[in-house]
Amino acid sequence: MIEIKGITLPVVLIEVKEGGNIEDILEAIRQKFSSKLLEGSYVLIDGKGILKKGDVEKIEKALLEKNIKSVKKLSFEGVEDIKKDRLLVVRRHLRSGQRVEHNGDILVLGDVNKDAQVVATGNIVVMGRLRGIAIAGALGDESAVVVALEMEPQQVRIGRKVAILEDGDRKSPGYPEVARVEEDSIILERV
């Protein structure tokens, strides 16, 4: 009925293989998550078009009881599929000279220091300070975004657009910001 797969620690995928009563699906999930092994992980829920929005919310509630968080709702009725290997979670700070590349979205749970690089074909989210180089939409996708709690990058590149900041040119205003392409240039906005 359901299958549990590891994607990139600490992210786990719950894939609903076949339809059925939501209570049966919830019971199968509770059994699979009965041990403390996955406690504190993040979960992607892939409903394969079988689950309804309300079903996904019930699953999220059951997971929260086990201290497991849902990071993204994948395909439920009325929403197109998102590939399960799309998200890479980096659970550390990136130091100078380090580089992370991924064919999809990247979530950095830490800082990206000066001269460190994050390269994604999708979006980049930094849950800390972005002081290095962020390249989103690396294959030309200008609809991608770069989000950071503190936006002080050396360079932001989205698709073919580039914004280069001089040293000391940018101080974070103290709130999260998003960089996106608008009218052929990269703009920063408050999140």
Give the pTM: 0.56
In the chain, CATH 2.160.20.70 sits at 87-190
Which range (9-13, 21-25, 95-99, 187-191) has the least confidence?
A: 9-13
Q: Given pLDDT bands bounded at 50, 70 and 90, which one contains residue 76?
A: very low
Higher pLDDT among residues 56 and 8, named by residue: 56
- At the topology level, CATH places domain 2-73 in Alpha-Beta Plaits (3.30.70)
**Mean of the per-residue pLDDT values of the chain:** 80
Task: Name the DSSP class of 142.
Answer: T
In angstroms, the CA 55 to CA 60 distance is 9
pLDDT attached to residue 20: 74
Average pLDDT over residues 63-78: 59
Burial zone of 104 (CB within 10 Å; 0-12 exposed, 13-18 middle, 19+ buried): middle
Q: Which residue has the tokens 């990139």?
A: 8
Burial zone of 25 (CB within 10 Å; 0-12 exposed, 13-18 middle, 19+ buried): buried
Burial zone of 60 (CB within 10 Å; 0-12 exposed, 13-18 middle, 19+ buried): middle
Q: Are 152 and 171 in contact (CB under 8 A)?
A: yes
pLDDT attached to residue 132: 94
- For domain 87-190, say whether CATH 2.160.20.70 is its number: yes
Q: Are 107 and 99 in contact (CB under 8 A)?
A: no
In the chain, CATH 3.30.70.260 sits at 2-73
pLDDT attached to residue 84: 42
